[in-house]
Amino acid sequence: MYINKVEICGVNTNKLKVLKEAEKTALLAKVRQGDMQAREELINGNLRLVLSVVQKFANRGEILDDLFQVGCIGLIKAIDNFDPNQEVKFSTYGVPMIIGEIRRYLRDNNSIRVSRSLRDMAYKAMQAKEMLLTQNLREPTIEEIAEAMGSKKEDVVLALESIVEPLSLYDPVYSDGGDPIYVMDQIGDRNDDTEWLDEILLRQAIEDLSEREKRILSMRFLSGRTQVEVAKEIGISQAQVSRVEKGALKRIKSKI
């Protein structure tokens, strides 16, 4: 199992050094003075902290070595940005930074493409969640996260749901030792002739669109790009993209 893996990225985890708080404080002070040797010692002395965080993600099917490397990036960011004047332990500050870096990696490697604006909001929501968790020592509610971000609760929910790893139809949901029951076994087929007809009409309506309209709708709803991103690639204004998109959708709706 990954969790019992001894060597990660060429590092023997059984021999990882653990620094005492006094040692961390002294090294952090040297880092602030630009001592790169102290920075290196501080990184090596906190690799076990990275390992403890990475093990929480070990059941996601990701390569543990990759997660460990990403976690080390979060550790380095924590070291470079930690303020020794704060009345908190370095690990209290570092753990959320490491978790955030790993979650951003998992988000960016999600098999479903979502718009950058939605992903950025999800990342900010996770940061707000970690901050509130550290402050209140309990899991924050969606309302609290939305308030901390200054956003609507509905937008926060949509953003967080957009980065959830999709469930495969072939994932088992139950097994008693015999044949397992898969997700697809629990999904009924409710198609009828009306729905088939709607699909045919939709295909026809899309075929009647211009190539420019098809391209914009494809980039917006299949590739998950924002209107600003589409406008930049095509070479027109965001307002023009909006008008073309609305016009195309209106024509499709009128035909079905």
Count of residues making up the chain: 256
Where along the chain do the CATH 1.20.120.1810 domains lie? Answer: 1-109
Cα–Cα distance measured from residue 199 to residue 207, given in angstroms and rounded to the nearest whole number: 12
Give the model's pLDDT for residue 168: 54
Contact 27, 42 (CB under 8 A): yes
Residue burial 143-176, b: 16+ Cβ < 10 Å; e: rest:
ebbbebbebeeeebeebbebbeeeeeeeeeeeee
What is the pLDDT at residue 37? 92
Cα separation, 219 vs 245, in Å, equals 11
* Per-residue confidence (pLDDT) for residue 192, from 0 to 100: 47
Question: Cα separation of 238 and 76, whole Å?
Answer: 38
Query: From the centroid of its chain, how far is CA 191?
Result: 34
Domain 1-109 has CATH 3.30.70.20: no
**Integer Cα distance of 140 and 122 in angstroms:** 15
Asked: is 111-166 a CATH 1.20.140.160 domain? The reply is no
Q: Residues 57, 67: contact at Cβ < 8 Å? A: yes
Architecture label for domain 193-255: Orthogonal Bundle (1.10)
| Ordered per-residue pLDDT tens for the chain, 256 residues | 344 445 666 666 677 778 888 888 899 889 888 899 989 999 989 898 898 888 888 766 677 888 888 989 999 998 988 887 777 788 888 888 898 888 888 777 765 556 678 778 888 888 898 888 888 878 889 999 999 999 998 888 888 877 665 555 555 555 445 555 555 555 555 554 455 555 666 677 778 888 888 888 888 877 788 888 888 888 998 888 888 888 888 888 777 6
Task: Reduce the DSSP state of residue 165 to 3 states and report it.
Answer: coil
Given this model, what pLDDT does residue 198 score?
A: 59
Q: Is 8 helix (H, G, I), strand (E, B) or coil?
A: strand
From-to residues of CATH 1.10.10.10 in the chain: 111-166, 193-255
List of residues 6+ apart from 48 with CB closer than 8 A: 13, 16, 17, 18
* Residue 193: predicted pLDDT: 47
**Residues 145 and 107 sit within 8 Å (Cβ to Cβ):** no
For residue 128, what are its two tokens? 């707000």
CA gyration radius for the chain? 24
Which tokens in the block code for residue 78?
A: 């924590």
The pTM is what? Answer: 0.43
Instruction: Map residue 234 onto helix, strand or coil.
Output: helix
Give the per-residue pLDDT at 205: 72
